Structure 1
Amino acid sequence: MPNWLTMMTDDLRANLRFLCAERQSTAQVCRDIGINQQQFSKYLSGRSNPSANNLRRIARYFGVEDTELLGAHAQLVRSYRAKTATLREHRQDPLANVFPGDLAQLRPFLGAYQVYFQAPVDPNGYVVNSVFLDERNGVVYSRLIEALTDTTFKRRRWTRCDGKVSYQNGRLFVVDSERKNENALSMHILTPPPRQKRHYLFGTMCFMASMPRRMPYASKVVWRKFEAYRSVKDLFKSCGVYSAENLRLDPVIRRYLASDFSEESVRL
C-alpha cells in the first residue's frame, strides 16, 4: 500500500474515532447517518475507506468538510474544538440571533450619517454627531463620533462610542457603549421613512448624560444619511451644538425634533 494512502487511512480512522467519541454511541451515529454499522466499523478500523458519497454524508453529519475528515488528525481536532466553542458561546448568548437580525434588510442602511437630537443641557439646542455603519463577518457595527466644545479648556472634546446594529420587524436598533465613560450604554430605535424621505431615519434614543450630572436622558433623534462626502473630516466639522434657529438645521429635522412624542408626530 502506498505511503500516502496509509497516512490517509490512519488520519481518517483517528478522525472518525475522535468525532464518534463526542456522540452518544457509534450505533446512534450510524442510525442518524443512515449507514450500515458493520461497514462503518471497517472505516473505524482502517480496513476500508468510505466512498465519496458516504464520506460526504459522514462529514455533513459531523459538521466538517470532506477535506478536514481526510486531513491531518491534529488539524481536525483544533478545527472541531474551535467550532464547538463558538457554537457553545452562541447558544449561551441570549442576543446571538438578535444582532444583526435581518441582515439582508439591514445592508441598504450601511454608510455614514449625521445624528441630530436635543441637547441635554439646553432645551433650545441640538447636538449633531457623526455615525458610521459597516458590516464585518456578517454583523453590522456602529461607530459614533461626538465633538463638543469644552468651554473650560476652549477646545473640542471628542467622544467615540462603538456598538452593534440590529434590524427587527421593520426597525433598526443600535446599542453602543462609550468605554471611557464607565461603559455607559445608549440605544437608538429608528424607523425607516417613507420613500420621499429615504435619506432620513426617525426615532428615539436614550443614554446616560455625562453633564451636568450623570442622569438618564431620552430624546427624539434623526439620522440623515450622507450619500457622498469628500472625507471623514467633512462630517466631523458638522459635529457640535446648534441653536434651534440655526439656518443650517434641516427644516425636516427641526420640525421632527420640535414635535412631541405622540403617534401623530412620529408618522410625519
Structure 2
Amino acid sequence: MLSDLAQNLRFLCAEKPSVAMVCREIGINHQQFSKYLTDHSKPSAHNLRRIAQYFDVTERALLQSHTEFADIHRYRKAHPDQSGQDPLSGVFPGDIGKLRPFLGAYQIFFHAPVSGSDIMVNTVFLDERDGIVYSRLIEALKTHRVGQRRWTRCDGKVSYQNGRIFVVDNERRNESALSMHILTPPPRQKKTYLFGTMCFLASLPRRIPYASKVVWKRFDTYRSVRELFKTCGVYSSDSLKLDPVVRNYLTKGTDDNWL
C-alpha cells in the first residue's frame, strides 16, 4: 500500500504530460523523484518544499490523506476563478481531517450586544460538501407577537488552522459585515464544548463592531431542527435554563467546571 504522499504525487503528476517534464521543471533528479512515486524514499524537507511550490500546494497538503487531498484538489479545479483569484482559497478547510470530528449541530452562547448582561443563544450546523466545511447559523428571536419569531440566517465557511477552528460567515439579506468565531478544540475526551471569541457588526441599536466570549455546545441527539430552534433567544445570565459551564465561561472567562 503506497503512502499518502506517494499517492498524492502520482495524482498530481497524472495531470502533467510526463514525469520527466515535472522533474526538469522542478530541477530534481528523475531517478530520485521516481523513488518518491514508488514510496521507496521520502523527499527531504528542502525537496518537499520545492515540489509543493511547483504544484502550487502546501507541504502539509502533500502529506494529508489521499482521499481528502483528491477531493479538495478536484473542488479547486472545478472552481478555477476561486483558486486563481481568491487569496484565501487555500485557507478553507485547512486540516480537514482534524475538522471532520466537529461536524454537526451546536448551540452558540454569547453576550447580547444590546444588553451585555443577557446571553443570546443561536443554533449552527457544520457540514461538509466537496471537501469544504460550511456553516449555517440560525438566529430565532421572539417578537412582541406571541408565538412569532424573527429569523436570521448566516452562511459561512470553516477552517482548522494551527490548533484552532475559524468560522467566517455573513448574513446574505442585509448589508452586514463578516462575523468570525475563533474556537479552541477541547481535549479528545471532552467534545461537548468549544470555547473562544466572536466578533461581528451589531445591528441594534447602532451598527458598531462588537466582540464577546462565545461557547459552542454540541447537540449530539435531537428529534428535529425545530427542537433546536426553540432553544434560541435571549436569556438572563442567571436563568436556570443556561448550562452552568456556559454561564461560568461567559461571566468569569474561565472553563473550570468543564475541566
Is it true that 1:131 corresponds to 2:131 in the alignment? no
Cα distance in structure 1, aligned partners of 2:176 and 2:21 = 47
Is it true that 1:223 corresponds to 2:216 in the alignment? yes
> Does the 8 A contact of 2:237 with 2:247 survive in 1?
yes
Cα distance in structure 1, aligned partners of 2:145 and 2:90 = 45
Give 1:166-181 correspondences, 5 Å limit: 166-181=159-174
Cα distance in structure 2, aligned partners of 1:84 and 1:102 = 19
Cα distance in structure 2, aligned partners of 1:94 and 1:207 = 22
Is it true that 1:93 corresponds to 2:86 in the alignment? yes
Q: 1:89 to 1:180 in 2, by over 3 A?
A: closer
For residues 172-219 of structure 1, what are the alpha-carbon distances to aligned partners after superposition, in whole Å with 9 as ceiling and x for unaligned?
000000012214310000001234532000000000011111111000
User: In the alignment, which residue of structure 2 is the partner of 1:102?
Assistant: 95
User: In the alignment, which residue of structure 1 is the partner of 2:245?
Assistant: 252
Cα distance in structure 1, aligned partners of 2:22 and 2:174 = 53
For residues 56-93 of structure 1, what are the alpha-carbon distances to aligned partners after superposition, in whole Å with 9 as ceiling and x for unaligned?
xxxxxxx9xxxxxxxxxxxxxxxxxxx97844641322
Is it true that 1:143 corresponds to 2:145 in the alignment? no
For residues 5-38 of structure 1, what are the alpha-carbon distances to aligned partners after superposition, in whole Å with 9 as ceiling and x for unaligned?
xxxxxxxxxxxxxx99xxxxxxxx896279xxxx
Give 1:174-213 correspondences, 5 Å limit: 174-195=167-188, 197-213=190-206
Which structure would you say has the larger Rg?
1
> Does the 8 A contact of 2:160 with 2:166 survive in 1?
yes
Structure 1 residue runs without a partner (length 5+): 1-18, 21-28, 35-62, 64-82
> Does the 8 A contact of 2:176 with 2:201 survive in 1?
no
Structure 2 residue runs without a partner (length 5+): 1-15, 24-54, 56-75
Cα distance in structure 1, aligned partners of 2:187 and 2:77 = 44
Q: Which structure's residues are more often helix, by fraction?
A: 1
Tell me which of 87, 101, 107 is aligned to 1:114. 107
> Does the 8 A contact of 2:135 with 2:167 survive in 1?
yes
Matched residue type, 1:32: M
Is it true that 1:32 corresponds to 2:21 in the alignment? yes
Cα distance in structure 2, aligned partners of 1:119 and 1:88 = 38
Cα distance in structure 1, aligned partners of 2:117 and 2:172 = 29
Tell me which of 146, 152, 157 is aligned to 1:164. 157
TM-score by length of 1: 0.65
Q: 1:247 to 1:99 in 2, by over 3 A?
A: same
> Does the 8 A contact of 2:245 with 2:255 survive in 1?
no
Cα distance in structure 2, aligned partners of 1:98 and 1:237 = 34
TM-score by length of 2: 0.67
**Percent identity (aligned):** 64
User: How many residues matched?
Assistant: 192
Cα distance in structure 1, aligned partners of 2:223 and 2:147 = 27
Cα distance in structure 1, aligned partners of 2:188 and 2:82 = 40
Shift in Å at residue 140 of structure 1? 0.2
Cα distance in structure 2, aligned partners of 1:128 and 1:99 = 26
Matched residue type, 1:113: Y
Kindly report the root-mean-square deviation, in angstroms, between the aligned alpha carbons of the 2 structures: 2.8
Cα distance in structure 2, aligned partners of 1:119 and 1:198 = 25
What secondary structure does 2:228 align onto?
helix
Q: 1:137 to 1:245 in 2, by over 3 A?
A: same
Q: 1:88 to 1:215 in 2, by over 3 A?
A: closer
Cα distance in structure 2, aligned partners of 1:86 and 1:124 = 45
